[in-house]
Structure 1
Amino acid sequence: MSDRTVAASKRRSQAIAGGVAGALVFVVLAIVFFVVRSGDDDKQPVASATATTAATADAAAAPEPAASAEPTASSAPAAAGSGAAAGTLSPELSKEPEIKPGTGGPLSKLVITPLVKGTGPVVKAGQTVTFNYKLIPYAGGAVMDSSWSRGQPFTSVIGAGQLIAGWDQGIPGQKVGSRIQMDIPAALAYKDQDLRFIVDILDAK
Structure 2
Amino acid sequence: MSAQSMPEVNAEFGALPQIVFGEDQAPQGLRTVELVEGDGPVVRRGDTVTVNYHGVVWGSGKAFDSSFERHQPASFGIGVGQVIKGWDQSVPGHNVGSRLVVSIPPEYGYGSRGVPQAGIGGGDTLVFVIDIISTR
TM-score category by the smaller chain?
Answer: 0.7 to 0.9
Shift of 1:107: 3.6
TM-score, normalised via structure 2 length: 0.78
The structure whose residues are more often strand, as a share, is: 2
| Inter-CA distance 196–102: structure 2 relative to 1 (3 Å threshold) | farther
1:116 shift after superposition: 1.0
Aligned structure 1 segments of 4 or more residues deviating by more than 6 angstroms: none
Mapping of residues 28-107 of structure 1, within 5 Å: 92-101=12-21, 103-107=23-27
Deviations 1:97-145 (A, max 9, x none): 2122364334421111111111111110000000000011112242111
Q: Structure 1-normalised TM-score?
A: 0.53
Please tell me whether Structure 1 or Structure 2 has the larger radius of gyration of its CA atoms: 1
Structure 2, unaligned stretches of length 5 or more?
1-11, 112-121
**Does residue 1:202 correspond to 2:133, yes or no?**
yes
Unaligned runs of 5+ in 1: 1-91
Seen in structure 2, the aligned counterparts of structure 1 residues 94 and 108 have a Cα distance that, compared at 3 Å, is closer
Higher helix share: 1
SS of alignment partner, residue 93 of structure 1: coil
CA distance in 1, matches of 2:57, 2:20: 10
Q: Could you say what secondary structure the match of 1:166 adopts?
A: helix
Q: Which amino acid aligns with 1:113?
A: V
1: CA distance, partners of 2:46 / 2:52: 19
* Sequence identity percentage: 41
Q: Sort the Cα spacing of 1:110 and 1:103 in 2 relative to 1 into closer, same or farther, 3 A.
A: farther
2:80 is paired with a residue whose SS is: coil
> Larger relative contact order (C-alpha < 8 A, sep ≥ 6)?
2
